[in-house]
Structure 1
Amino acid sequence: MQRTHKFLLFILFALTLSACSNFEKIRKMTDEKKKYDAAIRFFKKGQYDKASILFEELLPILTGTDQQEIATFYQAYCDYHTGNYEMANFHFKRFAETFARSEYYEEAVYMSAYSLYKNSPQFNLDQSGTITAINELQNFINNYSDSKFREETSDLIKELRKKLEKKSYEKVKLYYKTSEFNIASLKSAVIEINNFQRDYPDSDFNEELAYLKVQSQFDLAQSTIESKQKERFDDAIKYYQDLVDKYPKSDFLKKAEKLYDISFKESDRIAKLEAEYKAARDKEKSNTSKVGAGDKQK
């Protein structure tokens, strides 16, 4: 059994060496047509790494020939199929620029944008690439409104926007999670929630974030200096009312109502203190004025 296993490994090794040797022979061919035909065969067999090497070597020689168009188009697809999406984007774009009248032109423009979609990073990473992909895909729709790729392109844009939405949501949650006793983070949490609600008005996350806005504003009011507390408690009250108006059956209402009750009582208490302080100051000013007037009469 062990000998059979070793024999099979030896055969596999020998075949690999033979295949490598044959491929190197093809690379050294001086007959461009045979080399080109071999590249096409590798491509159609799905051996994109080998096809790509041959096309890369052939393209400078094929400039101006009938084979240049297909070689350039297939090279771009080789990059795509091997996961080299940045180069695929570059080569598809170059193909479209070089062969504007090609039957593959529209497909190349689409694949250029699609390669950017494939290269879009996970939502927790920098999303510059995602934004670029969305712009390229949107440009494709704008320029080819009747394209057979239109519906698929629209779906890709929605998917990428969902990724940006998730990124923005996680950013809000991060501010909220790190906001305890941190006024700057509490302010940022409220600002980011406002931004999120503006940018993604139909998001499924908005109900939760509407509650978190109440919570963050309440925490901010409690953490801030006394002179700013009433204004911030009033904002918490407003955000609670917004939550009730938009989500009257929300699961977050019970929690939010407790914050509302405390905010309302605190705002009312501070208002009374301010009124008493103002009345005391007005009385003091009035007494001072009377004393001044009496001194003048004397």
Structure 2
Amino acid sequence: MFKVKHVLLLSFTIIALTIAGCKSQFEKIRLSNDVAKKYQEAMRLYNKKNYAKALILFEDLSQKYRGRAEAEELNYHYALTLYKLKDYTTARYQFKSFADTYPTSKYAEECRYMGAYCYYLDSPAPSLDQENTYKAIDALQLFINFYPKSERAADAAKYIGLLRAKLEDKAYNNARLYYDLGGYDVSNYKAAVIALKNAQIDFPDIKYAEEMDFLIIKSQFAYAKNSLETRQEDRYNEAITYADEFVEAHPQSKLLEDAKALKKNSEQGIENAKHFLAELAKNQEKYRALMAKDARSDSTTTTIKTPIK
């Protein structure tokens, strides 16, 4: 029993010393002024997929190899190491820097593509700010412009399509949010109409076109219904116009009957508003109070902004 414990303890000691020795060896190389040996070790670690340690050496060597013939190969693997470690922000900078510094390199096309691809990987969820998404689209399109016959051009175009779909999601969700908040402020319904229209201008082939066209009717109808009676006729008429446009644009839509129902309800809303105003006109005091309220409403103009992209 004692011998077994002794053998195990000895084995653990040897393993611990071996690990300590390896660490010590890496530190010696890292602190060494022998750049050739350090470069050789960096490549060995890279090929062994020990990217964290390889990065430490590449970062040190990138300064010391500046202007030397080996710098091209070193900087290429430096950028790849950052990519392997999923530091896409720094990697894209290094890939772009490489492509700009070595435009005739055999790696230039790959690095130009990888820089754009890192932007794609850094593109956030639709609910977040989409600055990186726009930058990714620009970078991928620039790659296609530089290398239209490249095999990677097809992948770049595919990623642009996916990024545009994300922007469509963002635009639709922003417009939908205005509608959902309409119960808190009637002006949100009008904002929803504007946002939905602007989204379709920005994305003419948006996949939500049918649903958005229907939501425009619903938003305008809700806006009219929750308005002062003096404003309802004009606003209901707009809802009717949107309903007619929907029927013409989407004759096979499953929402067709709902659109027609909103048109019918808008027509009824106009009749109800006219009847209300006619009855109210018989009471001059109440009628003047309503007209004064309408004037105050007209003098207060709210600027409705497009949703933030």
Residues 149-164 of structure 1 mapped to structure 2, 5 A cutoff? 149-164=152-167
Q: 1:196, CA displacement in angstroms?
A: 1.7
Is 1:28 aligned to 2:25, yes or no? no
Is 1:243 aligned to 2:234, yes or no? no
Show CA shifts across 1:41-95 (max 9, x none).
1112222111111011112211222211011111111111111111111111111
Relative contact order (alpha carbons < 8 A, sep ≥ 6): 1 or 2 greater?
Answer: 2
Query: Against the structure 1 CA distance between its residues 193 and 109, is the aligned structure 2 distance closer, same or farther, given a 3 Å change threshold?
Result: same
Which of these residues, 136, 141, 146, is aligned with residue 138 of structure 1? Answer: 141
Kept after mapping to 2: 8 A contact 1:181/1:223: no
Is 1:192 aligned to 2:195, yes or no? yes
Partners of 1:9 and 1:243 in 2: CA distance: 77
Runs of 4+ displaced beyond 3 Å: 3-19, 268-278
2:119 corresponds in structure 1 to 116
The residue type equivalent to 1:244 in the other structure is V
Cα RMSD for the two superposed structures? 2.8
Q: 1:25, CA displacement in angstroms?
A: 2.2
Query: Against the structure 1 CA distance between its residues 269 and 223, is the aligned structure 2 distance closer, same or farther, given a 3 Å change threshold?
Result: closer
SS in 2 for 1:263: helix
TM-score (structure 2 length as normaliser): 0.81
Query: Against the structure 1 CA distance between its residues 32 and 210, is the aligned structure 2 distance closer, same or farther, given a 3 Å change threshold?
Result: same
Residues 1-298 of structure 1 mapped to structure 2, 5 A cutoff? 16-268=19-271, 270=273
Kept after mapping to 1: 8 A contact 2:221/2:239: yes
The residue type equivalent to 2:119 in the other structure is L
TM-score (structure 1 length as normaliser): 0.84
Instruction: Say which one has the larger Rg.
Output: 1
Show CA shifts across 1:156-201 (max 9, x none).
1001111111111111121111111522211111111101222223
Query: Against the structure 1 CA distance between its residues 73 and 248, is the aligned structure 2 distance closer, same or farther, given a 3 Å change threshold?
Result: same
SS in 2 for 1:172: helix
Kept after mapping to 2: 8 A contact 1:186/1:217: yes
Kept after mapping to 1: 8 A contact 2:189/2:220: yes
Consecutive unaligned residues of structure 1, counting only runs of 5 or more, are 279-298
Q: How many equivalent pairs are there?
A: 277
Partners of 1:204 and 1:136 in 2: CA distance: 24
SS in 2 for 1:193: helix
Consecutive unaligned residues of structure 2, counting only runs of 5 or more, are 1-5, 282-309
Kept after mapping to 1: 8 A contact 2:214/2:246: yes
